[in-house]
Amino acid sequence: TAVDACRYMGALIMGAVNGAEKDELLSERYYPISGGWWDDNPLEPEVDEVSTGSFKRREPPEIRGRGYVVASLEAALWAFHNSDSFEEGCLLAVNLGEDADTTGAIYGQLAGAFYGEGGIPEHWRRRLAHRLLIEHFAERLHHLGRTVDWEKLLEFLPIFERLGFVPGAGKDPSESSGVGAGQEMVRFMKTLYTAGAIYPFDWSKWHDEAGRFFHDPTLLESADEMTLRRLLTYHARVDYFNQGHLDEMIEAGHITRVLRVLRELKTG
């Protein structure tokens, strides 16, 4: 149960640091990668009940921060759901009483990832013990988390070329509809996250920009690394709401073109 609570919490934090909106984070059985992850890797029933929104349907005294992992997780999410700021939610969490520090710690992880450092009241931060040490560790973790393993992504370039996912070719009828091709698409989506390629920015305002790169190959060829990262992030995030979008981009050869430009940047 504790491990599954951590699995679910990890998914929420991963989504929060990568710019997911609160409604999306708190949607039923949220996972930052589309494709029914929890169907293939199910949560323990008590944790699954929380992931389906038990914290939205209950109020104190049913919501209790009593220290048990499921109850504490549910209480922290209840506070996050019923607040509009880090401070408001934190006070809701700890004022449930009982094992208040546990509830507050769980809430703080998710809310901190969602609201960012600037969302934590300055008068709270000023009184934080060992603040400089904590900030140092946070900066190092952030740096490590933002270091992109581009080599992992470039491993897909020869795979997509072999499958016929190249500009102007469309998908190869003999292979692209097969199980192997589908598995490679799913693996690519997961690698975007595990390789650290997803960049936290407001991708919802990038529709026109992404469209220009799709329709103008010469524009894409002059793109820098950060632009390519934003482009990959955009398609991954759109795919969450419009499942199959990334597959279409792969089959159209657009992602292959992006990877080719990336390879040129990396090899000079």
Give the model's confidence band at 41: pLDDT under 50 very low, under 70 low, under 90 confident, else very high. confident
194 plus 101 within the same structural domain: no
Domain boundary, last residue among 115, 142, 165: 115
Selection from 32, 36, 34, 5 nearest residue 19 by Cα: 32
For residues 98 and 176, state if they share a domain.
Answer: no
Assigned domain for 203 exists: yes
Q: Are residues 102 and 167 in the same domain?
A: no
- 79/117: higher pLDDT: 79
Q: Model confidence over 65-101: pLDDT tens digits?
A: 888 999 999 999 999 999 999 999 999 999 999 899 9
- pLDDT of residue 174 exceeding 50: no
Mean pLDDT score of the chain: 89
CATH number at residue 90: 1.10.4080.10
- Position 26 confidence tier, pLDDT thresholds 50, 70, 90: very high
**Is 38 found in the same domain as 101?**
yes
In this prediction, residue 32 carries a pLDDT of 86
| 55 domain residue, yes or no | yes
In a domain, 263, yes or no: yes
Residue 136 lies in a domain: no
Instruction: Assess whether 101 and 160 both reside in one domain.
Output: no
Is residue 238 domain-shared with residue 154, that is, in the same domain? yes
Domain total for the chain?
2
Q: What is the mean pLDDT of residues 203-207?
A: 87
* pLDDT of res. 35: 66
Q: Does 162 share its domain with 247? A: yes
Range of the domain at 255: 150-267
As a whole-number percent, the residues of the chain with pLDDT over 70 amount to 93
Domain membership flag for residue 66? yes
The mean per-residue pLDDT over the stretch 13-41 comes to 88
Question: Does 95 share its domain with 173?
Answer: no
pLDDT at 101: 94
Q: Classify residue 122: in a domain, yes or no.
A: no
**Looking at residues 126-149, what average pLDDT do you find?**
85
Task: For residues 102 and 164, state if they share a domain.
Answer: no
> Based on the domain organization, do 65 and 170 belong to the same domain?
no
- For residue 180, what pLDDT is reported? 62
Q: Among all chains, which residue has been given the structure tokens 């507050």?
A: 104
Are residues 161 and 108 located together in one domain of the fold?
no
| pLDDT, average across residues 8-32 | 92
The answer on pLDDT for 170 being more than 60 is no
Q: Is the pLDDT of residue 224 over 90?
A: yes
- Tell me what the mean pLDDT of segment 214-231 comes to: 92
* pLDDT at 190 > cutoff 70: yes
CA distances from 170 to 104, 153, 157 (A): 51, 21, 16
In a domain, 123, yes or no: no
| Helical (H) or strand (E) element with 146 | helix 131-146
Q: Within a domain: residue 138?
A: no
Against a cut of 0.85, is the pTM above it? no
**Residue-wise burial string across 38-65, b where 16 or more C-beta atoms lie within 10 A, e elsewhere:** beeeebeebbeebbebbbeeeeeeebbb
Listed residues 89, 115, 141: the one ending a domain: 115
Q: Are residues 156 and 236 in the same domain?
A: yes
pLDDT-wise least confident of 86-90, 142-146, 204-208, 236-240? 142-146
Residues 6+ apart with CB under 8 A from 86: 111, 112, 115, 119, 120, 121
| Reported confidence tier of residue 168, pLDDT bands at 50, 70, 90 | low
